[in-house]
Chains A and B, each alone.
Chain A
Amino acid sequence: MKTTSELETKVVRPMAHLTRRELLKGTGVLIGMLSGASSALLALAPSRTWAVELNALSDAQGQELMRFARQLYPHDSLDDAAYALVVSALDGAAKSDPATKKLLADGLRKLDAAAGGSFVRASPPQQLAAVKALEGTPFFEKVRGTTIATLYNNPIAFAYFGYEGSAWEKAGYINRGFNDLKWLPDPPESASPPKA
């Protein structure tokens, strides 16, 4: 299990730090730009460009899985970079287990077939119908399970959804807003005594 800081290093690693030679070592690479939509995220990232290297899956497989994950959990203004982390996790599973690699390859072919030939080029309603057609299959469950455990567990998602992650380094919330809600009256001290 990767900690968020490991993921952070991985995702926001600027392109400049990835040499062409490093990219060519893998089987594929997903590259994108962080959108201007989340300024909180840009504050985290040293560069707008991101790259996720693949070591078992091809570029095309990576792209298709990324679109699949978007249909499963569609957050329209959440950057592709977050979805690319799902692909990275699936790629890691495929690299360490040939059966998983085959499950993904076979599943993606079925997804293409269900979308009328190419899932990536299909319209969003066609994509959704193709995903629904595969619901409950081991391939679907593998991608869905990986997506739910990855998409919401990284600093890009934390910034997007307004979750502040690890609090220990910041001495918790005792002096940092644990009770800063102002749109309801404060409870009396008998119910909620003042802090020490």
Chain B
Amino acid sequence: MTTFEHNDNSVVVIVGSGAGGGTLANELSQRGVKVVVLEAGKRESSATFVNDEWASFIQLAWLDKRTTSGSWRVARDFPNLPAWLCKTVGGTTVHWAGASLRIHPHEFKARTTYGEIDGASLLDWPLDYDELAPYYAKAEDKLGVTRTNDIPGLPGNNNFKVFYNGAKKVGYKATTGRMAINSRPRADRASCLQLGFCFQGCKSGAKWSALYTEIPAAESTGNMELRTQVHVAQIEHDAAGKAVGVVYFDAEGKQQRQRARAVCVAGNSIETPRLLLLSASSKFPDGMANSSGQVGRNYQRHTTGSVYAIMDEPVHMYRGTTMAGIISEEIVFDPSRGFAGGYELETLSLGLPFMAAFLNPGEWGRPFAQAMDLYSHMAGMWIVGEDMPQQTNRVTLNSAEKDQWGLPVPNVHYDDHPNDVAMRNHAYERGRAVYEAVGARKVFYTPPYPSTHNLGTCRMSASPRDGVCNKHGQTHDVKNLFISDGSQFTSGAGENPTLTIVTLAIRQAEYISNQMSQQNI
């Protein structure tokens, strides 16, 4: 395996190995750029994943202390778990469900399309759909997205059958969607076995994950070194304000320093702004790349929620792909519904242990037990829609609480915007209509889980006053510092974000290597 010296300042350091960091590492190393990836988690594999929800959660989830505030229900039910993210090589691509939808052209122009909305800090993205389209095509090929590149769709499971038939009766067209899960063997990965444990790491390898695609591909170039179980604590800069490296704690808790030609941060939308804030210095008193004051702000988590229905006959929704079923009619911009932005409805199932934990957190007693008694008759779907960016929804440092390295933990503050509430209620009702159309006996509205889609905390903007980075993820303030994950989203759009994160990473790799060739960084 390739290794680089700590004082080698020719390397690009990437913090995080998920959809953004893992992809960027591979794309850069394929272009001959030397890369050191610093990953906080351990390296697991399809062989070590377990089909056991709680055991897998302990194995994969990011469980370092975090705090919450705000009126969102997560702060009450899961005060130290604002987000369900991964701390493992491959990041959240290990537990994502695989839904791979492009952001629509109008969603890139959120401010223009939706207009001024009270309390929302909407902006248009500094790039448009056409600019990104060729990179979306590359990402779809890389991920092996079904219904693109002549890849057939996945076969629908029982949960999909209920979803499809209900959708049809209320006038929606449901399909098994565009999924980064092999319906046929492709790219040295097997086809889906319908295990039903997509969230627990795919044991068949049918679902795309950076863990067993981008990372080994990057390693095989000889240009990439992956260091695991290392926690980056600070980005350092020189007198001119250029990034010169990072300080991190290694697996033994020993402080190390890696020099760098450029630093790319891809720690997901809580850790990425946290790292910039932790890197405050006399030159950057409010945190690195934070002259706009926008680092950590505009935290978005999608307007989510789930609808579960008890049907007259058994469903066994847990059999097969966790999320291969989609209704896309509501993604349009149609303010007559009472809100801006749109949403998707996607099939979702939880195993018995997580259904108990998430159906209605905190509830107990006979009605809850009676609902659980009919677990085998349940069908389920998830709402994923665009939430409004707000200046006050933000990640900050909580100096009152320290993590295992003595660093202030991140606090995640979130209040629903009235637009979010209106959208969620609309989606709940549409979900109910779908299930009642096929005879649902009872329908439950399940509140949002700890966030799996975390976005916007270092947003890209045309003007350095409005955001943290430009349309390439390059920070406005520090030209060799890049944001390489979903933190750079200007607005959340209504689609599962992984495909767009990968797309931006492919494009960013091209930009970084060009900038390096031109000696601009």
- Which residues on A are within 8 Å of B, measured CB to CB? 1-4, 72-75, 144, 148-149, 151-153, 157-158, 161-168, 171-174, 176-181, 183-187, 190-196
One of B113-121, B312-320, B424-432, B462-470 at the interface: B312-320
Q: Which of A151, A185, A187 has the most CB of B within 10 A?
A: A187
Render B53-64 as a binary contact track against A, CB cut-off 8 A, 1 for contact.
111011000000
B176 touches A191 (CB 8 A): yes
In angstroms, Cα B162 to Cα A167, docked, is: 22
Residues of chain B with a CB closer than 8 A to A177's CB:
158, 316, 319
In angstroms, Cα B194 to Cα A78, docked, is: 29
In angstroms, Cα B368 to Cα A186, docked, is: 32
With A178-B319, A179-B157 given, can you name 4 additional A-B contacts, CB distance below 8 Å?
A75-B373, A164-B319, A166-B51, A180-B316
Kindly provide the distance from the CB of B55 to the nearest chain A CB, expressed in whole angstroms: 5
Q: Is B421 an interface residue (CB 8 A)?
A: no
* A4 touching B438 in the complex, CB below 8 Å, given contacts A161-B372, A187-B161: no
One of B7-15, B352-360, B441-449 at the interface: B352-360
A and B contact pairs by CB, cutoff 8 A, 9 listed: A75-B369, A144-B364, A166-B51, A167-B197, A173-B320, A178-B157, A180-B158, A181-B316, A192-B175
B175 touches A161 (CB 8 A): no
In angstroms, Cα B353 to Cα A2, docked, is: 13
Q: Is B21 an interface residue (CB 8 A)?
A: no
In angstroms, Cα B176 to Cα A187, docked, is: 10
A179 touches B320 (CB 8 A): yes
Residues of chain B with a CB closer than 8 A to A152's CB:
352-353, 355-357, 372
Render B122-155 as a binary contact track against A, CB cut-off 8 A, 1 for contact.
0000000000000000000000000000001111
Residues of chain B with a CB closer than 8 A to A151's CB:
356
In angstroms, Cα B58 to Cα A1, docked, is: 7
Top 8 A-B pairs, shortest CB-CB distance: A172-B193, A192-B156, A162-B376, A178-B320, A166-B51, A152-B356, A163-B352, A178-B194
In angstroms, Cα B361 to Cα A149, docked, is: 11
Cβ 8 A contact of B50, one of A157, A158, A166, A172: A166
In angstroms, Cα B193 to Cα A171, docked, is: 7
In angstroms, Cα B156 to Cα A159, docked, is: 25
A149 touches B351 (CB 8 A): no
Q: Is B195 an interface residue (CB 8 A)?
A: yes
B51 touches A173 (CB 8 A): no
In angstroms, Cα B349 to Cα A173, docked, is: 14
Q: Is B308 an interface residue (CB 8 A)?
A: no
In angstroms, Cα B317 to Cα A196, docked, is: 21
In angstroms, Cα B193 to Cα A178, docked, is: 10
In angstroms, Cα B195 to Cα A167, docked, is: 6
A179 touches B158 (CB 8 A): yes
A173 touches B157 (CB 8 A): yes
Q: Is B94 an interface residue (CB 8 A)?
A: no
A172 touches B352 (CB 8 A): no
B155 touches A194 (CB 8 A): yes
In angstroms, Cα B165 to Cα A115, docked, is: 50
A164 touches B318 (CB 8 A): yes
Kindly provide the distance from the CB of B345 to the nearest chain A CB, expressed in whole angstroms: 14
Q: Which of A173, A181, A186 has the most CB of B within 10 A?
A: A181
B162 touches A148 (CB 8 A): no
List which B11-34 residues lie within 8 A (CB) of chain A.
none
In angstroms, Cα B162 to Cα A179, docked, is: 11
List which B176-229 residues lie within 8 A (CB) of chain A.
176, 183-185, 191-197, 203-204
> Whose C-beta in chain A lies nearest to the C-beta of B152?
A193
Residues of chain A with a CB closer than 8 A to B51's CB:
165-168
In angstroms, Cα B190 to Cα A146, docked, is: 38
B165 touches A184 (CB 8 A): yes
Cβ 8 A contact of B351, one of A163, A186, A191: A163
Q: Is B334 an interface residue (CB 8 A)?
A: no
* A187 touching B196 in the complex, CB below 8 Å, given contacts A75-B373, A161-B352, A165-B51: no
Residues of chain B with a CB closer than 8 A to A157's CB:
352
Kindly provide the distance from the CB of A129 to the nearest chain B CB, expressed in whole angstroms: 12
In angstroms, Cα B356 to Cα A75, docked, is: 13
Residues of chain A with a CB closer than 8 A to B320's CB:
172-174, 178-179
Render B361-384 as a binary contact track against A, CB cut-off 8 A, 1 for contact.
010111011001101100000000
Kindly provide the distance from the CB of A119 to the nearest chain B CB, expressed in whole angstroms: 16
B176 touches A74 (CB 8 A): no
B164 touches A173 (CB 8 A): no
Q: Which of B314, B318, B353, B438 has the most CB of A within 10 A?
A: B353
* A195 touching B155 in the complex, CB below 8 Å, given contacts A163-B318, A177-B319: yes
Kindly provide the distance from the CB of A66 to the nearest chain B CB, expressed in whole angstroms: 16
* A173 touching B194 in the complex, CB below 8 Å, given contacts A3-B55, A149-B54, A153-B53: yes
Q: Is B108 an interface residue (CB 8 A)?
A: no
Residues of chain A with a CB closer than 8 A to B173's CB:
191
In angstroms, Cα B196 to Cα A154, docked, is: 18
A73 touches B353 (CB 8 A): no
Kindly provide the distance from the CB of A175 to the nearest chain B CB, expressed in whole angstroms: 9
Residues of chain B with a CB closer than 8 A to A72's CB:
364-365
Residues of chain B with a CB closer than 8 A to A186's CB:
161
Kindly provide the distance from the CB of A70 to the nearest chain B CB, expressed in whole angstroms: 10
Q: Is B388 an interface residue (CB 8 A)?
A: no
Residues of chain A with a CB closer than 8 A to B369's CB:
73-75
In angstroms, Cα B356 to Cα A144, docked, is: 12
B196 touches A148 (CB 8 A): no
Q: Is B52 an interface residue (CB 8 A)?
A: yes
Residues of chain A with a CB closer than 8 A to B289's CB:
none
Kindly provide the distance from the CB of B436 to the nearest chain A CB, expressed in whole angstroms: 14
